[in-house]
Amino acid sequence: MGFYNDHILPHVCDLAMRNKQLRPYRERVIGAAEGRVLEIGIGSGRNLPFYRAPVQEVLALEPSAKLIAMAQHTLHPGLQVNFIEASAEAIPLDDRSVDTVVTTWTLCSIPEAATALSEMRRVLRLNGKLLFVEHGMAPDKNVRRWQDWLTPAWKRIGGGCHLNRPIRTMIESGGFRIDRVETGYMPGPKPMTFMYEGSARPG
């Protein structure tokens, strides 16, 4: 899987993130960011064009060097971006050092998501916020069956992506208090398109 993960998967991820259906989610989530922002899993940088004031700086965390190189081509003037090649399970930042943490379609694929959420909570200021949009476990029993059945194979081709993670429960178990969450299917195959969008604060 080394060649696939290093050379093919980054382009697969970038292609998936080009989906125009994702744009309204990006506009809402990224539009609510402010101050010093840590984005978990910057990927190929598809969120970067949506950052505006009052964002002062974006710390772009990403474990894949190939995706960081792709993201560097999406920068626009006036946005201060510092790329950090590291894992979300061990964020190399000081405690209480960021105002906003952003995750977009990322919690599905982090191997130790509970550890990553604990790290996000650690680096967030006490009055900071976690902004998220993620796909995950659907409420419909029949769709959940498909998600459970597809996930083992989906993880192999999707860089560890789980279709069936209970996003709200994960965030709350990570020590966050949900301020707002909206859920629903976006157009597309139901096992892949149940979305959780919202914000949370350190509990």
Tally of domains in the chain: 1
Residue 9 pLDDT greater than 60, yes or no: no
Residue 181 pLDDT greater than 70, yes or no: yes
**How confident is the model at residue 173, as a pLDDT?**
97
CA–CA distance, 30 with 45 (Å, rounded to integer): 12
Q: What is the mean pLDDT of residues 162-181?
A: 97
Retrieve residue 58's tokens.
Answer: 């974006």
**% of residues, the chain, pLDDT over 70:** 91
CA angle in degrees (0–180, nearest 5) for 18-98-160? 40
CA angle in degrees (0–180, nearest 5) for 119-120-125? 115
Mean predicted lDDT score pLDDT of the chain: 92
Q: What is the pTM of this model?
A: 0.92
Q: Which domain holds residue 117?
A: 2-202
List the CATH number of the domain containing 127.
3.40.50.150
Closest CA to 61 of 47, 73, 49: 47
CA–CA distance, 124 with 172 (Å, rounded to integer): 15
Mind listing the pLDDT tens digit for each residue in 81-117? 999 999 999 999 999 999 999 999 999 999 999 999 9
Retrieve residue 81's tokens.
Answer: 């971006």
